[in-house]
Structure 1
Amino acid sequence: MSVNHMELLYAGMQTQLEHINGSLKASVQNLTSSLVCIASTLELLKAFIREHPFETPDAEIYFFKYTKPRFYCWYIYVVELHNILATVPVGTDQMLRDYYMDELGIINRCFKVYSFSYQYYLQDETIKDSEFFLRKNRIEFPIGQEHLTADPEFSTNQDYMFSKFRAYEMLRDFIIRRLRLLYQNPDNVFIAELLASKNRWWSGDKVELIEIAYGIYYTQRINGGKAEISHVIEWLEDSLNIDLSQAYRMFLDIRRRKTISYTKYLDEMREAIHQHIDETNSFKPKKKPQTNG
Protein backbone atom coordinates (compact mmCIF):
# COMPACT_ATOMS: atom_id res chain seq x y z
CA MET A 1 0.00 0.00 0.00
CA SER A 2 1.58 3.28 -1.13
CA VAL A 3 1.62 5.79 1.74
CA ASN A 4 2.49 8.58 -0.68
CA HIS A 5 -0.53 7.75 -2.86
CA MET A 6 -2.81 7.83 0.22
CA GLU A 7 -1.42 11.21 1.29
CA LEU A 8 -1.90 12.70 -2.17
CA LEU A 9 -5.45 11.39 -2.32
CA TYR A 10 -6.23 12.77 1.14
CA ALA A 11 -4.65 16.16 0.41
CA GLY A 12 -6.63 16.38 -2.83
CA MET A 13 -9.89 15.70 -1.00
CA GLN A 14 -9.08 18.32 1.63
CA THR A 15 -8.26 20.91 -1.03
CA GLN A 16 -11.54 20.24 -2.84
CA LEU A 17 -13.55 20.49 0.38
CA GLU A 18 -11.86 23.77 1.17
CA HIS A 19 -12.64 25.09 -2.31
CA ILE A 20 -16.31 24.06 -1.92
CA ASN A 21 -16.82 25.35 1.62
CA GLY A 22 -14.15 27.93 2.33
CA SER A 23 -13.62 26.51 5.82
CA LEU A 24 -15.37 23.49 7.32
CA LYS A 25 -14.76 24.99 10.75
CA ALA A 26 -17.47 27.55 10.07
CA SER A 27 -20.09 25.95 7.84
CA VAL A 28 -20.96 23.47 5.15
CA GLN A 29 -21.91 25.74 2.27
CA ASN A 30 -22.69 23.01 -0.21
CA LEU A 31 -23.59 19.66 1.33
CA THR A 32 -24.18 17.85 -1.96
CA SER A 33 -20.87 18.89 -3.52
CA SER A 34 -19.02 18.04 -0.31
CA LEU A 35 -20.54 14.55 -0.18
CA VAL A 36 -19.85 13.95 -3.88
CA CYS A 37 -16.22 14.95 -3.31
CA ILE A 38 -15.80 12.56 -0.36
CA ALA A 39 -17.71 9.70 -1.98
CA SER A 40 -15.67 9.94 -5.19
CA THR A 41 -12.45 9.92 -3.16
CA LEU A 42 -13.61 6.82 -1.30
CA GLU A 43 -14.32 5.14 -4.64
CA LEU A 44 -10.77 5.92 -5.74
CA LEU A 45 -9.53 4.46 -2.47
CA LYS A 46 -11.56 1.29 -3.00
CA ALA A 47 -10.34 0.97 -6.58
CA PHE A 48 -6.75 1.34 -5.42
CA ILE A 49 -6.93 -1.51 -2.91
CA ARG A 50 -8.73 -3.65 -5.48
CA GLU A 51 -5.86 -3.12 -7.94
CA HIS A 52 -3.22 -3.44 -5.21
CA PRO A 53 -4.30 -6.27 -2.87
CA PHE A 54 -2.94 -6.30 0.66
CA GLU A 55 0.28 -8.28 0.90
CA THR A 56 -0.20 -9.22 4.57
CA PRO A 57 -3.03 -9.34 7.16
CA ASP A 58 -1.22 -6.56 9.06
CA ALA A 59 -1.43 -4.30 6.01
CA GLU A 60 -5.17 -4.94 5.74
CA ILE A 61 -5.65 -4.26 9.46
CA TYR A 62 -3.74 -0.99 9.21
CA PHE A 63 -5.82 0.16 6.26
CA PHE A 64 -9.21 -0.50 7.87
CA LYS A 65 -8.12 0.64 11.32
CA TYR A 66 -6.46 3.91 10.34
CA THR A 67 -6.52 4.78 6.64
CA LYS A 68 -10.15 4.27 5.66
CA PRO A 69 -11.54 5.89 8.87
CA ARG A 70 -9.34 8.90 8.21
CA PHE A 71 -11.14 9.40 4.89
CA TYR A 72 -14.65 8.18 5.76
CA CYS A 73 -14.91 10.25 8.95
CA TRP A 74 -15.27 13.34 6.77
CA TYR A 75 -18.47 11.96 5.22
CA ILE A 76 -20.01 11.51 8.68
CA TYR A 77 -18.66 14.85 9.89
CA VAL A 78 -19.99 16.88 6.97
CA VAL A 79 -23.51 15.42 7.31
CA GLU A 80 -23.64 15.85 11.10
CA LEU A 81 -22.16 19.36 10.99
CA HIS A 82 -24.71 20.40 8.38
CA ASN A 83 -27.53 19.07 10.56
CA ILE A 84 -26.22 20.86 13.64
CA LEU A 85 -25.84 24.20 11.86
CA ALA A 86 -29.21 23.87 10.10
CA THR A 87 -31.08 23.78 13.42
CA VAL A 88 -29.18 26.42 15.43
CA PRO A 89 -31.83 28.49 17.24
CA VAL A 90 -32.21 32.21 16.70
CA GLY A 91 -32.15 33.85 20.11
CA THR A 92 -30.02 34.79 23.07
CA ASP A 93 -26.49 33.62 23.83
CA GLN A 94 -27.94 31.44 26.58
CA MET A 95 -30.21 29.69 24.07
CA LEU A 96 -27.17 29.03 21.87
CA ARG A 97 -25.18 27.71 24.82
CA ASP A 98 -28.01 25.35 25.79
CA TYR A 99 -28.31 24.15 22.19
CA TYR A 100 -24.62 23.39 21.82
CA MET A 101 -24.49 21.75 25.25
CA ASP A 102 -27.34 19.44 24.17
CA GLU A 103 -25.42 18.54 21.00
CA LEU A 104 -22.34 17.89 23.09
CA GLY A 105 -24.43 15.56 25.25
CA ILE A 106 -25.50 13.57 22.17
CA ILE A 107 -21.86 13.08 21.18
CA ASN A 108 -20.82 12.04 24.68
CA ARG A 109 -23.74 9.59 24.83
CA CYS A 110 -22.44 7.89 21.67
CA PHE A 111 -19.05 7.45 23.30
CA LYS A 112 -20.74 5.90 26.35
CA VAL A 113 -23.05 3.59 24.37
CA TYR A 114 -20.06 2.20 22.46
CA SER A 115 -17.66 2.55 25.38
CA PHE A 116 -15.76 -0.70 24.75
CA SER A 117 -15.04 0.17 21.12
CA TYR A 118 -14.27 3.79 22.00
CA GLN A 119 -11.76 2.80 24.69
CA TYR A 120 -10.20 0.36 22.23
CA TYR A 121 -9.91 3.27 19.79
CA LEU A 122 -8.54 5.70 22.38
CA GLN A 123 -5.99 3.30 23.81
CA ASP A 124 -4.95 2.10 20.34
CA GLU A 125 -5.28 -1.49 21.51
CA THR A 126 -4.43 -4.39 19.21
CA ILE A 127 -5.64 -7.63 20.81
CA LYS A 128 -8.85 -7.82 18.73
CA ASP A 129 -7.49 -6.27 15.54
CA SER A 130 -7.96 -9.45 13.50
CA GLU A 131 -11.59 -9.71 14.55
CA PHE A 132 -12.25 -6.02 14.06
CA PHE A 133 -10.35 -5.16 10.88
CA LEU A 134 -10.03 -8.20 8.63
CA ARG A 135 -12.78 -8.52 6.02
CA LYS A 136 -12.88 -12.32 6.26
CA ASN A 137 -14.07 -12.00 9.89
CA ARG A 138 -16.86 -9.54 9.17
CA ILE A 139 -20.26 -10.50 10.59
CA GLU A 140 -23.58 -9.67 8.94
CA PHE A 141 -24.60 -6.86 11.31
CA PRO A 142 -21.53 -5.36 13.00
CA ILE A 143 -22.01 -3.22 16.10
CA GLY A 144 -23.22 0.27 15.27
CA GLN A 145 -24.00 -0.69 11.67
CA GLU A 146 -27.33 -2.42 12.14
CA HIS A 147 -29.07 0.07 9.85
CA LEU A 148 -26.34 0.33 7.21
CA THR A 149 -25.83 -1.60 4.01
CA ALA A 150 -22.07 -2.03 3.82
CA ASP A 151 -19.92 -3.29 0.96
CA PRO A 152 -18.20 -6.47 2.27
CA GLU A 153 -15.28 -5.80 -0.09
CA PHE A 154 -14.66 -2.45 1.58
CA SER A 155 -15.78 -2.83 5.22
CA THR A 156 -14.97 -4.69 8.42
CA ASN A 157 -16.56 -5.06 11.85
CA GLN A 158 -15.18 -1.83 13.27
CA ASP A 159 -13.88 0.52 10.57
CA TYR A 160 -17.22 2.37 10.49
CA MET A 161 -17.19 2.88 14.28
CA PHE A 162 -13.61 4.14 14.16
CA SER A 163 -14.68 6.57 11.41
CA LYS A 164 -17.60 7.71 13.56
CA PHE A 165 -15.38 8.23 16.59
CA ARG A 166 -13.05 10.41 14.55
CA ALA A 167 -15.99 12.38 13.13
CA TYR A 168 -17.61 12.87 16.51
CA GLU A 169 -14.34 14.05 18.03
CA MET A 170 -14.14 16.62 15.24
CA LEU A 171 -17.74 17.66 15.94
CA ARG A 172 -16.97 17.89 19.64
CA ASP A 173 -14.03 20.18 18.87
CA PHE A 174 -16.26 22.32 16.66
CA ILE A 175 -18.93 22.65 19.36
CA ILE A 176 -16.37 23.45 22.06
CA ARG A 177 -14.94 26.18 19.81
CA ARG A 178 -18.43 27.66 19.43
CA LEU A 179 -19.06 27.51 23.17
CA ARG A 180 -15.70 29.10 23.87
CA LEU A 181 -16.59 31.99 21.56
CA LEU A 182 -19.90 32.47 23.37
CA TYR A 183 -18.24 32.51 26.77
CA GLN A 184 -15.33 34.68 25.61
CA ASN A 185 -17.64 37.43 24.41
CA PRO A 186 -19.43 38.45 27.63
CA ASP A 187 -21.55 41.55 27.96
CA ASN A 188 -19.29 42.93 30.70
CA VAL A 189 -16.77 45.20 28.94
CA PHE A 190 -14.17 44.87 31.70
CA ILE A 191 -14.24 41.05 31.51
CA ALA A 192 -14.00 41.18 27.71
CA GLU A 193 -10.94 43.46 27.88
CA LEU A 194 -9.36 41.25 30.53
CA LEU A 195 -9.74 38.16 28.33
CA ALA A 196 -8.42 40.02 25.32
CA SER A 197 -5.31 41.12 27.22
CA LYS A 198 -4.35 37.47 27.75
CA ASN A 199 -4.33 36.64 24.05
CA ARG A 200 -1.06 35.71 22.40
CA TRP A 201 -0.65 36.54 18.73
CA TRP A 202 1.53 35.46 15.84
CA SER A 203 3.61 38.25 14.36
CA GLY A 204 5.19 36.26 11.52
CA ASP A 205 3.82 35.06 8.19
CA LYS A 206 0.99 32.53 8.21
CA VAL A 207 2.92 30.19 5.95
CA GLU A 208 5.56 29.86 8.68
CA LEU A 209 2.92 28.52 11.05
CA ILE A 210 1.81 26.08 8.37
CA GLU A 211 5.35 24.67 8.26
CA ILE A 212 5.19 24.20 12.04
CA ALA A 213 1.72 22.61 11.85
CA TYR A 214 2.67 20.06 9.21
CA GLY A 215 5.98 19.37 10.97
CA ILE A 216 4.05 18.45 14.12
CA TYR A 217 1.52 16.45 12.12
CA TYR A 218 3.97 14.36 10.09
CA THR A 219 6.16 13.61 13.13
CA GLN A 220 3.00 12.39 14.95
CA ARG A 221 3.73 13.96 18.33
CA ILE A 222 0.16 14.87 19.39
CA ASN A 223 -2.32 12.33 20.80
CA GLY A 224 -0.06 9.43 19.89
CA GLY A 225 -0.13 10.39 16.22
CA LYS A 226 -3.95 10.34 16.01
CA ALA A 227 -4.38 14.11 15.70
CA GLU A 228 -5.45 15.23 12.23
CA ILE A 229 -3.76 18.21 10.60
CA SER A 230 -7.03 20.11 11.17
CA HIS A 231 -6.68 19.52 14.93
CA VAL A 232 -3.11 20.85 14.93
CA ILE A 233 -4.15 23.91 12.91
CA GLU A 234 -7.12 24.65 15.17
CA TRP A 235 -4.86 24.36 18.22
CA LEU A 236 -2.45 26.92 16.72
CA GLU A 237 -5.35 29.18 15.75
CA ASP A 238 -6.79 29.12 19.26
CA SER A 239 -3.40 29.57 20.91
CA LEU A 240 -2.21 32.41 18.70
CA ASN A 241 -5.47 34.14 17.74
CA ILE A 242 -4.99 33.71 13.99
CA ASP A 243 -7.07 32.49 11.06
CA LEU A 244 -5.42 29.62 9.17
CA SER A 245 -8.46 28.64 7.13
CA GLN A 246 -6.32 28.59 3.96
CA ALA A 247 -3.86 26.12 5.48
CA TYR A 248 -4.26 23.40 2.86
CA ARG A 249 -3.80 25.85 0.03
CA MET A 250 -0.72 27.34 1.66
CA PHE A 251 0.77 23.88 2.09
CA LEU A 252 0.26 23.24 -1.62
CA ASP A 253 2.25 26.44 -2.25
CA ILE A 254 5.01 25.07 0.01
CA ARG A 255 5.08 21.84 -2.02
CA ARG A 256 5.45 23.87 -5.21
CA ARG A 257 8.56 25.74 -4.00
CA LYS A 258 11.34 25.52 -6.55
CA THR A 259 14.09 27.91 -5.46
CA ILE A 260 13.78 27.76 -1.65
CA SER A 261 13.56 24.99 0.89
CA TYR A 262 10.25 23.27 1.61
CA THR A 263 10.98 24.01 5.29
CA LYS A 264 12.37 27.55 5.03
CA TYR A 265 11.07 28.70 8.42
CA LEU A 266 11.92 25.45 10.22
CA ASP A 267 15.45 25.74 8.79
CA GLU A 268 15.58 29.32 10.09
CA MET A 269 14.48 28.12 13.55
CA ARG A 270 17.15 25.43 13.58
CA GLU A 271 19.86 27.92 12.59
CA ALA A 272 18.72 30.39 15.26
CA ILE A 273 18.92 27.68 17.96
CA HIS A 274 22.34 26.49 16.78
CA GLN A 275 23.65 30.07 16.65
CA HIS A 276 22.39 30.82 20.16
CA ILE A 277 23.95 27.65 21.60
CA ASP A 278 27.25 28.24 19.76
CA GLU A 279 27.40 31.83 21.02
CA THR A 280 26.55 30.72 24.55
CA ASN A 281 29.20 28.00 24.51
CA SER A 282 31.87 30.34 23.15
CA PHE A 283 31.18 33.08 25.66
CA LYS A 284 33.84 33.22 28.36
CA PRO A 285 33.20 35.72 31.13
CA LYS A 286 36.15 37.79 32.15
CA LYS A 287 37.73 36.79 35.40
CA LYS A 288 37.70 39.39 38.08
CA PRO A 289 41.19 40.41 39.10
CA GLN A 290 42.17 39.00 42.42
CA THR A 291 42.91 41.45 45.14
CA ASN A 292 45.20 40.83 47.99
CA GLY A 293 43.24 40.96 51.14
Structure 2
Amino acid sequence: MKSIYDTIVKRIEIREHRITFRNENVIKEAAEMTAFVLEILIEARNLVSEKGFVNKKEEIYFFKNIKPKILGKLIYYNKIFRIETSCPAKSGEIHKSFFVTELEKLTKEFKDNYIESDFYRYIKSGREDLDEKYFGLGRIDIMEGLNSFVFGIDPQFSTYYDYKVAKIIADEMFYEYINNRLNQDCERHSVSLTYTHYDDMFWTDSKNALIELIYALYAARSLSNGRLGITKISTIIESLFQIELGDFHHAFHRMKVRSGSRTAFLDYLKDSLEEYMNKNL
Protein backbone atom coordinates (compact mmCIF):
# COMPACT_ATOMS: atom_id res chain seq x y z
CA MET A 1 0.00 0.00 0.00
CA LYS A 2 1.26 3.47 -0.85
CA SER A 3 0.08 6.78 0.59
CA ILE A 4 0.95 10.47 0.60
CA TYR A 5 3.32 9.73 3.46
CA ASP A 6 5.65 7.68 1.27
CA THR A 7 6.89 10.87 -0.40
CA ILE A 8 8.26 12.04 2.95
CA VAL A 9 10.47 8.96 3.31
CA LYS A 10 11.58 9.37 -0.31
CA ARG A 11 12.95 12.83 0.50
CA ILE A 12 15.23 11.31 3.14
CA GLU A 13 16.48 8.70 0.69
CA ILE A 14 17.22 11.41 -1.90
CA ARG A 15 19.18 13.42 0.68
CA GLU A 16 21.13 10.32 1.66
CA HIS A 17 22.63 10.15 -1.84
CA ARG A 18 24.86 13.09 -0.85
CA ILE A 19 26.39 11.27 2.10
CA THR A 20 29.96 10.01 1.81
CA PHE A 21 30.69 9.17 5.47
CA ARG A 22 34.39 9.52 4.78
CA ASN A 23 36.38 9.95 7.99
CA GLU A 24 36.82 13.70 7.57
CA ASN A 25 33.11 14.25 6.83
CA VAL A 26 31.28 11.79 9.05
CA ILE A 27 30.60 14.06 12.07
CA LYS A 28 29.41 16.96 9.94
CA GLU A 29 27.23 14.73 7.76
CA ALA A 30 25.75 12.87 10.72
CA ALA A 31 24.83 16.17 12.40
CA GLU A 32 23.27 17.51 9.21
CA MET A 33 21.27 14.33 8.63
CA THR A 34 20.07 14.31 12.25
CA ALA A 35 18.74 17.85 11.88
CA PHE A 36 17.23 17.11 8.47
CA VAL A 37 15.44 13.91 9.55
CA LEU A 38 14.15 15.64 12.69
CA GLU A 39 12.55 18.28 10.44
CA ILE A 40 11.00 15.50 8.36
CA LEU A 41 9.59 13.83 11.49
CA ILE A 42 8.04 17.11 12.62
CA GLU A 43 6.63 17.63 9.14
CA ALA A 44 5.13 14.14 9.22
CA ARG A 45 3.60 14.87 12.63
CA ASN A 46 2.00 18.06 11.32
CA LEU A 47 0.73 16.30 8.21
CA VAL A 48 -0.90 13.56 10.29
CA SER A 49 -2.48 16.22 12.50
CA GLU A 50 -3.85 18.15 9.50
CA LYS A 51 -4.74 15.37 7.05
CA GLY A 52 -5.22 12.34 9.27
CA PHE A 53 -5.66 9.00 7.52
CA VAL A 54 -7.99 7.88 4.75
CA ASN A 55 -8.87 4.73 6.69
CA LYS A 56 -7.58 2.35 9.36
CA LYS A 57 -5.46 0.54 6.81
CA GLU A 58 -3.51 3.71 5.99
CA GLU A 59 -3.11 4.48 9.69
CA ILE A 60 -1.60 1.05 10.37
CA TYR A 61 0.61 1.35 7.27
CA PHE A 62 1.95 4.68 8.52
CA PHE A 63 2.80 3.50 12.02
CA LYS A 64 4.23 0.18 10.84
CA ASN A 65 6.22 1.36 7.81
CA ILE A 66 6.53 5.14 7.48
CA LYS A 67 7.12 6.58 10.93
CA PRO A 68 9.53 3.79 12.00
CA LYS A 69 11.71 4.45 8.93
CA ILE A 70 11.86 8.16 9.71
CA LEU A 71 12.38 7.75 13.45
CA GLY A 72 14.79 4.86 12.93
CA LYS A 73 17.01 6.97 10.71
CA LEU A 74 16.84 9.84 13.18
CA ILE A 75 18.06 7.53 15.96
CA TYR A 76 20.70 6.07 13.62
CA TYR A 77 22.27 9.35 12.52
CA ASN A 78 22.18 10.73 16.03
CA LYS A 79 23.96 7.59 17.26
CA ILE A 80 26.66 8.06 14.64
CA PHE A 81 27.13 11.69 15.65
CA ARG A 82 27.37 10.80 19.33
CA ILE A 83 29.78 7.90 18.89
CA GLU A 84 32.06 9.75 16.46
CA THR A 85 32.29 12.80 18.71
CA SER A 86 33.07 10.53 21.67
CA CYS A 87 35.76 8.44 19.96
CA PRO A 88 39.12 9.14 21.68
CA ALA A 89 41.24 8.66 18.53
CA LYS A 90 40.90 8.56 14.75
CA SER A 91 42.95 5.40 14.28
CA GLY A 92 45.13 2.90 16.13
CA GLU A 93 44.43 0.50 18.99
CA ILE A 94 42.46 3.01 21.10
CA HIS A 95 40.22 3.70 18.13
CA LYS A 96 39.70 -0.02 17.52
CA SER A 97 39.09 -0.79 21.18
CA PHE A 98 36.48 1.97 21.41
CA PHE A 99 34.44 0.61 18.50
CA VAL A 100 34.82 -3.00 19.66
CA THR A 101 33.35 -1.99 23.04
CA GLU A 102 30.47 -0.17 21.35
CA LEU A 103 29.78 -3.23 19.20
CA GLU A 104 29.72 -5.49 22.25
CA LYS A 105 27.31 -3.15 24.06
CA LEU A 106 25.01 -2.95 21.05
CA THR A 107 25.04 -6.74 20.57
CA LYS A 108 24.15 -7.34 24.22
CA GLU A 109 21.39 -4.73 24.18
CA PHE A 110 19.90 -6.17 21.00
CA LYS A 111 20.02 -9.70 22.35
CA ASP A 112 18.49 -8.74 25.69
CA ASN A 113 15.70 -6.59 24.28
CA TYR A 114 14.76 -8.05 20.91
CA ILE A 115 16.11 -11.39 19.70
CA GLU A 116 13.97 -13.55 21.98
CA SER A 117 10.89 -11.31 21.99
CA ASP A 118 7.58 -12.27 20.37
CA PHE A 119 7.34 -8.81 18.82
CA TYR A 120 10.72 -9.12 17.09
CA ARG A 121 9.71 -12.48 15.63
CA TYR A 122 6.39 -10.96 14.56
CA ILE A 123 8.11 -8.16 12.63
CA LYS A 124 10.78 -10.35 11.07
CA SER A 125 8.28 -12.97 9.93
CA GLY A 126 6.26 -10.39 8.01
CA ARG A 127 3.05 -11.19 9.87
CA GLU A 128 0.05 -8.84 9.71
CA ASP A 129 -2.56 -10.52 11.93
CA LEU A 130 -1.77 -8.36 15.00
CA ASP A 131 -1.11 -5.13 13.12
CA GLU A 132 -4.15 -3.35 14.53
CA LYS A 133 -3.07 -4.21 18.06
CA TYR A 134 0.49 -3.03 17.53
CA PHE A 135 0.03 -0.16 15.08
CA GLY A 136 -3.46 1.22 15.58
CA LEU A 137 -3.84 4.46 17.52
CA GLY A 138 -5.44 4.21 20.92
CA ARG A 139 -4.55 0.54 21.38
CA ILE A 140 -1.81 0.90 24.00
CA ASP A 141 -2.39 -1.56 26.83
CA ILE A 142 -0.59 -0.44 30.00
CA MET A 143 -1.25 -3.85 31.56
CA GLU A 144 1.35 -5.37 29.22
CA GLY A 145 4.12 -3.86 31.33
CA LEU A 146 5.36 -1.34 28.77
CA ASN A 147 8.41 0.81 29.43
CA SER A 148 7.57 3.82 31.56
CA PHE A 149 8.44 6.32 28.82
CA VAL A 150 5.21 5.28 27.06
CA PHE A 151 3.31 7.62 29.39
CA GLY A 152 5.10 10.58 27.87
CA ILE A 153 4.39 9.82 24.21
CA ASP A 154 1.92 11.70 22.04
CA PRO A 155 -1.13 9.39 21.76
CA GLN A 156 -2.06 11.04 18.44
CA PHE A 157 1.30 10.29 16.85
CA SER A 158 2.52 7.06 18.37
CA THR A 159 1.42 3.51 19.07
CA TYR A 160 4.50 2.73 21.21
CA TYR A 161 5.30 -0.21 18.95
CA ASP A 162 6.22 2.10 16.08
CA TYR A 163 9.10 3.23 18.31
CA LYS A 164 10.16 -0.38 18.86
CA VAL A 165 10.29 -0.98 15.10
CA ALA A 166 12.28 2.25 14.68
CA LYS A 167 14.73 1.11 17.35
CA ILE A 168 15.21 -2.25 15.61
CA ILE A 169 15.84 -0.48 12.29
CA ALA A 170 18.31 1.95 13.88
CA ASP A 171 20.21 -0.71 15.82
CA GLU A 172 20.56 -3.00 12.80
CA MET A 173 21.91 -0.13 10.70
CA PHE A 174 24.20 0.99 13.50
CA TYR A 175 25.53 -2.55 13.99
CA GLU A 176 26.60 -2.64 10.35
CA TYR A 177 28.04 0.88 10.61
CA ILE A 178 30.29 -0.08 13.53
CA ASN A 179 31.41 -3.26 11.78
CA ASN A 180 32.29 -1.25 8.69
CA ARG A 181 34.08 1.32 10.83
CA LEU A 182 36.24 -1.40 12.37
CA ASN A 183 37.07 -2.93 9.00
CA GLN A 184 37.53 0.04 6.72
CA ASP A 185 40.82 1.47 8.00
CA CYS A 186 42.81 -1.76 8.05
CA GLU A 187 41.33 -3.00 4.78
CA ARG A 188 41.66 0.26 2.86
CA HIS A 189 45.36 0.42 3.61
CA SER A 190 46.23 -3.27 3.28
CA VAL A 191 45.16 -3.85 -0.32
CA SER A 192 48.09 -4.46 -2.63
CA LEU A 193 47.24 -4.99 -6.30
CA THR A 194 49.77 -6.47 -8.69
CA TYR A 195 47.79 -6.78 -11.92
CA THR A 196 48.27 -4.47 -14.90
CA HIS A 197 45.74 -1.71 -15.53
CA TYR A 198 44.07 -1.64 -18.92
CA ASP A 199 42.88 1.76 -20.03
CA ASP A 200 40.11 0.25 -22.14
CA MET A 201 38.64 -1.76 -19.24
CA PHE A 202 36.30 0.23 -17.02
CA TRP A 203 32.84 -0.06 -15.46
CA THR A 204 30.10 1.40 -17.66
CA ASP A 205 26.98 0.49 -15.72
CA SER A 206 25.69 2.32 -12.64
CA LYS A 207 27.57 2.41 -9.33
CA ASN A 208 24.60 0.79 -7.62
CA ALA A 209 24.78 -2.10 -10.08
CA LEU A 210 28.42 -2.74 -9.19
CA ILE A 211 27.70 -2.42 -5.46
CA GLU A 212 24.94 -4.99 -5.82
CA LEU A 213 27.36 -7.34 -7.57
CA ILE A 214 30.04 -6.83 -4.90
CA TYR A 215 27.64 -7.64 -2.07
CA ALA A 216 26.39 -10.71 -3.96
CA LEU A 217 29.95 -12.03 -4.28
CA TYR A 218 30.57 -11.28 -0.62
CA ALA A 219 27.32 -12.91 0.57
CA ALA A 220 27.95 -16.01 -1.56
CA ARG A 221 31.54 -16.27 -0.23
CA SER A 222 32.66 -16.61 -3.84
CA LEU A 223 36.06 -14.94 -3.35
CA SER A 224 38.87 -16.54 -1.34
CA ASN A 225 36.37 -18.87 0.38
CA GLY A 226 34.70 -15.88 2.03
CA ARG A 227 37.85 -14.71 3.83
CA LEU A 228 37.84 -11.23 2.24
CA GLY A 229 35.89 -8.45 3.93
CA ILE A 230 33.40 -6.38 1.97
CA THR A 231 35.60 -3.27 2.09
CA LYS A 232 38.63 -5.11 0.73
CA ILE A 233 36.59 -6.63 -2.11
CA SER A 234 35.23 -3.18 -2.95
CA THR A 235 38.69 -1.62 -2.95
CA ILE A 236 40.05 -4.26 -5.32
CA ILE A 237 37.12 -3.95 -7.71
CA GLU A 238 37.27 -0.15 -7.61
CA SER A 239 40.88 -0.33 -8.75
CA LEU A 240 40.18 -3.06 -11.30
CA PHE A 241 37.34 -1.18 -12.96
CA GLN A 242 38.76 2.34 -12.42
CA ILE A 243 35.79 3.64 -10.45
CA GLU A 244 35.24 5.24 -7.05
CA LEU A 245 32.12 3.94 -5.32
CA GLY A 246 32.05 6.33 -2.37
CA ASP A 247 30.04 5.14 0.62
CA PHE A 248 28.95 1.81 -0.82
CA HIS A 249 27.76 0.63 2.63
CA HIS A 250 25.14 3.37 2.72
CA ALA A 251 24.17 2.73 -0.89
CA PHE A 252 23.55 -0.91 0.05
CA HIS A 253 21.28 0.17 2.89
CA ARG A 254 19.17 2.12 0.38
CA MET A 255 18.94 -0.96 -1.84
CA LYS A 256 17.51 -2.95 1.05
CA VAL A 257 14.49 -0.65 1.28
CA ARG A 258 14.03 0.38 -2.35
CA SER A 259 10.76 -0.33 -4.12
CA GLY A 260 10.55 -3.11 -6.68
CA SER A 261 13.25 -5.75 -6.88
CA ARG A 262 16.09 -5.31 -4.40
CA THR A 263 18.36 -7.28 -6.75
CA ALA A 264 17.56 -5.42 -9.98
CA PHE A 265 21.05 -5.75 -11.51
CA LEU A 266 21.41 -9.44 -10.64
CA ASP A 267 17.96 -10.04 -12.17
CA TYR A 268 19.12 -8.21 -15.28
CA LEU A 269 22.31 -10.30 -15.48
CA LYS A 270 20.34 -13.53 -15.21
CA ASP A 271 17.87 -12.47 -17.93
CA SER A 272 20.70 -11.29 -20.21
CA LEU A 273 22.63 -14.54 -19.81
CA GLU A 274 19.56 -16.69 -20.45
CA GLU A 275 18.76 -14.64 -23.56
CA TYR A 276 22.35 -15.05 -24.77
CA MET A 277 22.22 -18.79 -24.15
CA ASN A 278 18.98 -19.10 -26.10
CA LYS A 279 20.52 -17.31 -29.08
CA ASN A 280 23.40 -19.74 -29.15
CA LEU A 281 21.48 -23.02 -28.88
Q: Classify 1:143/1:238 alpha carbon distance in 2 versus 1 (closer, same or farther; 3 Å).
A: farther
Give the conservation status (yes or no) of the 8 Å contact 2:88–2:95: yes
Q: Which amino acid is the alignment partner of residue 81 of structure 2?
A: H
CA–CA distance in structure 2, aligned partners of residues 155 and 114 of structure 1: 20
Using the TM superposition, give the Cα deviation of residue 173 of structure 1 relative to its aligned residue in structure 2, in angstroms.
0.5
1:164 aligns with 2:164: no
Alignment of 1:184-263 (within 5 A): 184=187, 193=192, 203-205=202-204, 207=206, 209-210=208-209, 239-241=233-235, 242=238, 243-245=245-247
CA–CA distance in structure 2, aligned partners of residues 25 and 126 of structure 1: 39
CA–CA distance in structure 2, aligned partners of residues 71 and 267 of structure 1: 29
Using the TM superposition, give the Cα deviation of residue 98 of structure 1 relative to its aligned residue in structure 2, in angstroms.
1.7
CA offset digits 1:152-188 (Å, max 9, x no partner): 11101211111011111111111111222245368xx
Give the conservation status (yes or no) of the 8 Å contact 2:71–2:166: yes
The residue that corresponds to 1:131 in the other structure is 133
Give the conservation status (yes or no) of the 8 Å contact 2:72–2:170: yes
Q: Classify 1:37/1:104 alpha carbon distance in 2 versus 1 (closer, same or farther; 3 Å).
A: same
Give the conservation status (yes or no) of the 8 Å contact 1:77–1:171: yes
Using the TM superposition, give the Cα deviation of residue 108 of structure 1 relative to its aligned residue in structure 2, in angstroms.
1.3
CA–CA distance in structure 1, aligned partners of residues 6 and 22 of structure 2: 21
Q: Classify 1:205/1:11 alpha carbon distance in 2 versus 1 (closer, same or farther; 3 Å).
A: farther
Q: Which amino acid is the alignment partner of residue 137 of structure 1?
A: R
Give identity over the alignment, percent: 17
Q: How many equivalent pairs are there?
A: 235
Q: Out of 45-54 and 168-177, give the one that drifted further.
A: 45-54
Alignment of 1:49-198 (within 5 A): 49-50=48-49, 51-56=51-56, 58-90=57-89, 93-115=92-114, 116=117, 117-139=119-141, 143-144=146-147, 146=149, 149-184=152-187, 193=192
After superposition, the CA RMSD in angstroms is: 4.1
Q: Which amino acid is the alignment partner of residue 83 of structure 1?
A: R
Give the conservation status (yes or no) of the 8 Å contact 1:42–1:72: yes
The residue that corresponds to 1:226 in the other structure is none
Q: Classify 1:147/1:43 alpha carbon distance in 2 versus 1 (closer, same or farther; 3 Å).
A: same
With the length of structure 2 as denominator, give the TM-score of the two structures. 0.65
- Identify unmatched segments of 5+ residues in structure 1: 217-221, 223-234, 252-264, 282-293
Look up the SS of the partner of 2:180 in the other structure. helix
Look up the SS of the partner of 1:106 in the other structure. helix
Q: Which amino acid is the alignment partner of residue 166 of structure 2?
A: S
1:23 aligns with 2:31: no
Q: Classify 1:39/1:275 alpha carbon distance in 2 versus 1 (closer, same or farther; 3 Å).
A: same
With the length of structure 1 as denominator, give the TM-score of the two structures. 0.63
The higher radius of gyration belongs to 1
Q: Classify 1:271/1:208 alpha carbon distance in 2 versus 1 (closer, same or farther; 3 Å).
A: farther
The residue that corresponds to 1:273 in the other structure is 273
Q: Which amino acid is the alignment partner of residue 134 of structure 1?
A: G
Q: Classify 1:35/1:148 alpha carbon distance in 2 versus 1 (closer, same or farther; 3 Å).
A: farther
CA–CA distance in structure 2, aligned partners of residues 145 and 54 of structure 1: 31
CA–CA distance in structure 2, aligned partners of residues 63 and 142 of structure 1: 24
Give the conservation status (yes or no) of the 8 Å contact 1:139–1:157: no
Larger RCO: 1 or 2 (CA < 8 Å, sep 6+): 2
CA–CA distance in structure 2, aligned partners of residues 147 and 133 of structure 1: 14
